[in-house]
C-alpha cells in the first residue's frame, strides 16, 4: 500500500519554494547523521524551478552525491537530456565534486547504459531523497503505463516510450522506493486527470513507488483541481 502525504500550494512557485526548503533540511540532517546526502534527481521541466532555488542556497555541497531517476537516450551534450537541464539550473552553479555526480551514460544506448548504471546503483544502500515528476498519463521517471519491466532489475532499459525520445533508462520502482524521503513535484492543469485517478487508488506508475516512510506530493492548485 502506498502512503501519500499531500502538500498543496496555490502556485508552482510556492511548490518549488517549499520543496527546495525540504531538500535543504533533509541534506543538513543526512550530512549530520551520515556524512553524506544522496539525492536522486527528477527529469522533465517541473523540477527546474527547484534546481534554480537550490543553486541560490547555502549548503554543504562537498557532501552531496547526485544520481538520476531516469535519462533519455540522446548524445551527452543534447539539450533535451535531463543531465543537461540539471547542469544548467543547478550542478553547473554549485561546488558538488564531479566524481560525486553520477550521470546516466545513455549516449551508449539503453542496454549498455542500464548495465553501467546498475554498477553505480549497486553501491547505494539507500537514497536520502528521491525527486520525481509525473506525466499526464501517470508515468514517473521512465516507468510508463502498460510497460512491463522485470521486477528484479534495479535499472531498466526502456523502449517505445510514449514521451519522446523513445529510448531511455530508468531506475526501477523498487530502487526508487529505497529512500528515506521521496518528493513528487506535480504542477499544472494537464496533470489533473492523472492526479484524480491516483487519488481514486488507480494503480498508475506513480502508485508503484512505495518507500517505507511514504511519499510527499508537492502539488499546485491547478493540478489538484
Q: How far apart are CA 56 and CA 146, in angstroms?
A: 39
- Window 152-171: contact mask with ligand 6PG (x via CB under 6 A): -----------x--------
Which CB sits closer to ligand 6PG, 46 or 179? 46
Of the candidates 11, 25, 33, 45, which one interacts with ligand 6PG according to CB under 6 A? 45
Going 143 to 108 to 40 to 210, the CA torsion angle's sign is positive
Using the minimum distance from each CB to ligand 6PG, give the nearer residue, 44 or 110: 44
Under rule CB under 6 A, residue 205 binds ligand 6PG: no
Residues 45 and 79: beta-carbon distance below 8 Å: no
Q: How many residues touch ligand 6PG (CB under 6 A)?
A: 15
What is the rounded distance in angstroms from the CA atom of residue 168 to the CA atom of residue 156? Answer: 8
Q: Which of 221, 218, 217 is nearest to 188 (CA)?
A: 221
| Cα pseudo-dihedral 61, 168, 196, 86, rounded to 10 | 20
The contact mask relative to ligand 6PG for 107-146 (x = CB under 6 A, - = no) is --------------------------xxx---xxx-----
Q: Which is nearer to ligand 6PG, 141 or 155 (CB)?
A: 141
Query: Residue 76: helix, strand or coil by DSSP?
Result: coil
Q: How far is the CB of 194 from ligand 6PG (least distance, A)?
A: 10
DSSP-derived pairing of the beta strands 127-132 and 179-186: parallel
Question: Shortest distance, CB of residue 34 to ligand 6PG, whole angstroms?
Answer: 27
Please name every residue paired with 217 in a beta bridge, in sequence order, or none if there are none: 6, 184
Exposure string over 43-58, b if 16+ CB within 10 A, otherwise e: bbebbbbbbbbbbeee
Question: Measured from the CB atom, is 133 or 211 closer to ligand 6PG?
Answer: 133
Site for ligand 6PG in 57-76 (CB under 6 A): 70, 72
Using CB under 6 A as the criterion, which residues of the chain lie in contact with ligand 6PG when the complex forms? 42-46, 70, 72, 82, 133-135, 139-141, 163
Amino acid at each position: 500500500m502506498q502512503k501519500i502525504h499531500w502538500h498543496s500550494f496555490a502556485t508552482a512557485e510556492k511548490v518549488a519554494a517549499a520543496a527546495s526548503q525540504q531538500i535543504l533540511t533533509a541534506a543538513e540532517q543526512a550530512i549530520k547523521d551520515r556524512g553524506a546526502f544522496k539525492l536522486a534527481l527528477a527529469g522533465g521541466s517541473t523540477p527546474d524551478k527547484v534546481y534554480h532555488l537550490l543553486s541560490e542556497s547555502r549548503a554543504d555541497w562537498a557532501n552531496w552525491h547526485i544520481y538520476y531517476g531516469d535519462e533519455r537516450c540522446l548524445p551527452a551534450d543534447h539539450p533535451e537530456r535531463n543531465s543537461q537541464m540539471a547542469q544548467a539550473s543547478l550542478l553547473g552553479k554549485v561546488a558538488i565534486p564531479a566524481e560525486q555526480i553520477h550521470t546516466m551514460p545513455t549516449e551508449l544506448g539503453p542496454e549498455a547504459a542500464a548495465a553501467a548504471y546498475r554498477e553505480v546503483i549497486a553501491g547505494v544502500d539507500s537514497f536520502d531523497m528521491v525527486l520525481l515528476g509525473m506525466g499526464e498519463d501517470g508515468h514517473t521517471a521512465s516507468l510508463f503505463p502498460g510497460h512491463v519491466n522485470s521486477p528484479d532489475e534495479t535499472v531498466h532499459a526502456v523502449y517505445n516510450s510514449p514521451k519522446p525520445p523513445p529510448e531511455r533508462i530508468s531506475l526501477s520502482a523498487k530502487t526508487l522506493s529505497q529512500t528515506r524521503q521521496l518528493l513528487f513535484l506535480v504542477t499544472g492543469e494537464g496533470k489533473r486527470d492523472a492526479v484524480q485517478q491516483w487519488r481514486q487508488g488507480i494503480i498508475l506508475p506513480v502508485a508503484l513507488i512505495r518507500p517505507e516512510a511514504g511519499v510527499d506530493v508537492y502539488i499546485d492548485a491547478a493540478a489538484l483541481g
